[in-house]
Copies of this chain bind each other. A is one copy, B any other.
Amino acid sequence: MYRSHNCGELRMSDVGKEVTLAGWVQRIKDRGVLNWVVIRDRYGITQLVFDEERTPAALLEQSKTLGREFVIQAKGTVIERESKTKNMATGDIEILVTELNILNAAQTPPFTIEDETDGGEELRMQYRYLDIRRNPVKESLIFRHKVSIEVRNYLSEQGFIEVETPYLIKSTPEGARDFVVPSRMNEGQFYALPQSPQTFKQLLMVGGMDKYFQIVKCFRDEDLRADRQPEFTQIDCEMAFVDQEDILNTFEGLTRHLLKELKGVEIGDFPRMTYDEAMRRYGNDKPDIRFGMEFGELNTVAQHKDFNVFNKAELVAGIAVPRGNTYTRKEIDKLIDWVKRPQIGAMGMVYVRCNEDGSYKSSVDKFYDQEDLAKWAEATGAKAGDLICVLSGDTNKVRAQLSALRMELAERLGLRNPEEFAPLWVVDFPLLEWDEETERYHAMHHPFTSPKPEQIELLKTEPGNVKANAYDLVLNGNEIGGGSIRIHDKEIQAMMFDYLGFTPEEANAQFGFLMDAFQYGAPPHGGLAFGFDRLVAILGGQETIRDFIAFPKNNSGRDVMIDAPAPVDDEQLEELSLKLNLKS
C-alpha cells in the first residue's frame, strides 16, 4: 500500500502521527524558503509543507521539482497549521514532509483540474480521464454508483431477481434503428444489440420468474439529439400476476425510497393524471408540476369576436406568467420572437397585461373588451401583476408551443428548482399513434402493450381513441420511466401485429418465439423501465446526463478520447464475409 491515510481524512486529532499520503499535486505555493504543496486524491486534499528551518535542504529542493498533476508519495508528520482554513476538510493540519517520492511525473494538463475548469466540452471529452479528476464529474459518478446500489438493494428486498439478458440478439425493424453485429460463425447473418430487453423480460415472466429487474445497457442507432447517447442504461423491470395498480405502487415505492435515501426528501402519494388531462393542462405528456402556469383553454371566451386568427383556430390557449407585467414592451417583443423561432414555430403571440389596478391591456384591445379579458384571466388563473401569453392554431401545435414557452419562462423565473422534486404518474396513454409519414398507426409504447380490455372492440372502429394500460413516471418535467401492462394472449398479440401493419409472416419471423411462448401458459404481466442516466442526473440536480456517464459519446456517436469508431482491417471484414459499400 502506497499510503497510510487518504488525502481527505486527517484532522487535529491526528497531529503528531507519522503518515504516508499519495496522490496528485493540486497546487504549489513556492515562497522560496517555504514551499507548500497541496496533494489530492479521490477523498480530498491535504497540504504538505517544506521549509528551510525544518526540512533538509535536498528535500526542499526536490519539492521544487514538482509540477501540477505529478503523482507523489509523501511521508511526514501531521502538524497543526498556523493559519487554519475552513475551505478544506483537512484545513486544520498540514504534513511536515520527511520523504518525498515522485511516483510519476506529469505534463501540464490541457485544462485546470478545478471545480470550475477552463476546459471546453470538447477538450474535456478528449481528456476525459483528467476531467474525471475534477470534483463535479467524480462526485457525479460516485453518486450514480450510490443510486445503483440503492436501486438494487431495494428491489432485491422486494423479491425482485436481477437476471442478465443477452446482448447479442435479433434485429427487429419495429421501433428505432438497431445496431447490428455481423456473425463470423453464421455467414451473412447478424446479431442486433438490444434496444431494451423487452421480449426477454416477458419470456422470464412466462418462465415464472415473477419479479425481474436489471440495470442494463441498451442501444439505439438514432441520429443523436443533444443529450442522447447511442448506448444508455435502463432499470428494466417486469412483474407477473399483477395489475397496473401493483406496478405503480411498487415503483412509486422505489422512487420514494431513492428520494428519501439520496436526497433526504420525503414525498407522499404521487399525484396521477391521465394523458388527456396532462395534454390539456400542460400541453405535454411529461409536465413539470413544480410550478403552476397551467393552460387556460380560451375557445369559449375568445372566439365570439371578429378576431379571425382566433376564430379559425382549433385551440386558443394561454398561460399566466407570474409578475410578468413587469416585462417591458421590448422584452415582450423578444418573447414573441422566441415563440416564432423555427424550433417553436408559433405564428405569433397575443398578450394581456394584468395591471395592478385590476384593468387589462392587451395586444388585441381592438377586438376584446375588459370583460373578455377578465374571463381570460380567470381561465388562466392570472392575478394582478401577471402577463397572459396566448397562442392559437392547431391543437397539437398550440400545446407543444405553449408548453415550450411555459418551460422557458419557468426557467427564466427560476421556478425549476433542482433541489425540489415533483413526481407525477401520467396514465391512460393512447395505444396507437398516427404516423403521418407512413400513413399508418404505430404503437405509442410498443407492440406488446395491452389495450384497455374494455376497449378492445373499439380498436375496430376508432383505433386512435383506444387507451392502453400504459403509464409514465415523470419527475420535474422529465420522463424518468415508462411501462405498460403487456398482452399475454396469443390471439390479441396477433391482432395487434395485424393493426400495426405486420403480415402474419413478418410477425412470425420477428416475434414467433414470443407468440409461441404465449401458448405455453403466459401469466398476466406488466412492467416498467427507468431511464437510469436521466434518473441519476435529475436526482443529482442536473438535467444533462453527460457528466453522469463516465465515457460519453459526442453527437456524432464518437468517443473522441479513444477515437472510435474506426476503420477495421480488410482481413477482419473478409472473415465476416463483408465488403464496404461506401457512398462517397
Contact = CB atoms under 8 A, between A and B. Distances in A.
A149 B142 contact: no
B148 A162 contact: yes
A200 to B, nearest CB: 6
A400 interface: no
A204 B584 contact: no
Contact of A580 (B183, B564, B578, B583): B578
Given A149-B153, A173-B569, A203 B129 contact: yes
Interface in A98-123: 103-107, 109
A394 interface: no
Interface stretch (A186-194, A310-318, A358-366): A186-194
B557 A185 contact: yes
A206 interface: yes
B133 A208 contact: yes
Contacts of A206: 129-130
Interface stretch (A240-248, A299-307, A406-414): A240-248
A512 B126 CA distance: 12
A138 interface: yes
A145 B161 contact: yes
Interface string A543-555: 0000001110100
A1 interface: yes
B166 A231 contact: yes
A557 B183 contact: yes
Interface stretch (A215-223, A290-298, A328-336, A457-465): A215-223
Given A103-B524, A187-B583, A188-B567, A204 B129 contact: yes
| Most chain B beta carbons < 10 A, residue from A1, A69, A178, A243 | A1
B522 A566 contact: no
A225 interface: no
Chain A's interface size range is 35 or more
A285 interface: no
A182 B581 CA distance: 12
Given A164-B233, A165-B551, A577-B582, A558 B188 contact: no
Chain A binding surface, main DSSP class = loop
A41 interface: yes
A62 interface: no
Number of copies of this chain that the complex holds: 2
B167 A104 contact: no
B184 A181 contact: no
Contacts of A53: none
A132 interface: yes
Interface stretch (A319-327, A339-347, A367-375, A513-521): A513-521
Contacts of A425: none
B521 A70 contact: yes
Interface string A204-242: 101111110000010101011000001101000000011
A251 interface: no
A170 B564 contact: yes
Contact of A562 (B141, B199, B524): B199
A556 B186 contact: yes
Contact of A230 (B40, B168, B211, B584): B168
A169 interface: yes
Contact of A207 (B129, B180, B219, B517): B129
Contact of A180 (B71, B153, B181, B243): B181
